[in-house]
Amino acid sequence: MTKPLFERLGGEVAVNAAVDIFYRKVLTDKSIAPFFNTVNMNNQMAKQKRFLTMAFGGPNNYSGNDMRKVHAPLIAKGLNESHFIAVVDHLVATLQELDVEQALIDEVMVIVASTHDDVLGL
Residue 44 contacts residue 23 (beta carbons within 8 Å): yes
83 is in an annotated binding site: no
Calculate the CA dihedral of residues 79, 16, 99, 24 and round it to 10 degrees.
Answer: 50
Residue 121 contacts residue 75 (beta carbons within 8 Å): yes
Alpha carbons 77 and 80: distance in angstroms, whole number:
9
Binding site members: 71
Binding site members for heme: 71
